Homo-oligomer: A and B are copies of this chain.
Amino acid sequence: MTRIRVSLSGGDALQQGDASLLEAWQRGSGARIWTDIEDPTEALLEELLERRFGFHELAAEDSLSPNTLPKYDAFPGYDFFVFRAVDVELREHRTQTLKLAAFLGPDFLFTVHAGALPAIDDAFSRLPNDLRMLNNGPDYLLYEIVDVMVDAHFPLLEKIEECVDALHEEIFRSSQPAQLDELLHLKRDVNALRRHSLPQRELLNLMSRGDSPVIQKQHLIYFRDLYDHMFRISETIDSERDMISGTMEAYLSVIANRTNEIMRVLTVLSTIMLPLTLIAGIYGMNFEHMPELHWLHGYPFALGLMAATVLIMLAFFWRKGWIGKTPSS
């Protein structure tokens, strides 16, 4: 359901309310306004953003479409941004990113998003206690919101790192196809994060370089700080991609190793048993004239022959290093 929250600051006083507060405000009046629109309808956006505030139709459309990547468009009198926030839940291995569209002017900030965004709720509730957030200018308020969104990456990345580490350990104990499947899902998640974080990093780089006219010079350093965090995030993402690849290689090689060990056991046992069976078979033949069968010690002789065969075979395998030398493969 659509929900509009307006925060209006006229210097020392802050008013927070619904859409009706928008009436009390005019561009250039000195008052600063932040309007947050959650789950808007297309009609509302057209009515409010395009007609009433004259934002460009393409920006208004973009503020709703769910898959837009982080971007920056400069329009006369305002800037349009799209950010993406990670959803901190690793639900069913589907890392989701939520969109935040922002129209930023010298005295206004419009934020549009589908679904609740913790960073928005957080800023809305902190605002009454920290008027500076809006009085420093809407660009500073935007910084505060995006800061929460950016820092939300860190716990998620740690969670992923723990998952990969756990899988790595597990694989060296006992490897199963399900682990590979989980690794592939983690890889997909990390790749998705990477795809969103790279343009976001670029966007923050642009903002920190002073390309946007509505961001005040003295605030550039704050966006530079966000850029540094985002840079560290993408480095961490790359590191996790490497870890996942390494773990996959480990998985395959552990399987290869186990096949190897199984084969060795099979081979050692078969090649010992087969000659013995042959000896037993030979003395089980029914020829009339087989001298050994009539020897007094024929039976112990056959058993001795078998024992000798076993010893020769064991010596052969021991020399090959397949048994005894080391307990490993």
Contact = CB atoms under 8 A, between A and B. Distances in A.
Contacts of A286: 283-286, 290, 293
Contacts of A255: 253, 256-257, 260
- Among A232, A265, A269, A302, the one with the most B-chain Cβ atoms within 10 Å of its Cβ is A265
Interface of A: 56, 58, 62, 67-69, 71, 73, 168, 172, 174-178, 180-181, 184, 187-188, 191-192, 195, 221-222, 224-225, 228, 231-232, 235, 238-239, 242-243, 246-260, 262-267, 269-271, 273-278, 280-299, 302-303, 320-322, 326, 328-329
Contact of A260 (B262, B269, B322): B262
Copies of this chain present: 5
A184 B231 CA distance: 25
Contacts of A224: 73
Contact of A298 (B180, B187, B282, B287): B287
A58 B287 contact: no
A253 B58 contact: no
Contacts of A228: 62, 68-69, 71
A285 B287 contact: no
- Among A71, A228, A287, the one with the most B-chain Cβ atoms within 10 Å of its Cβ is A287
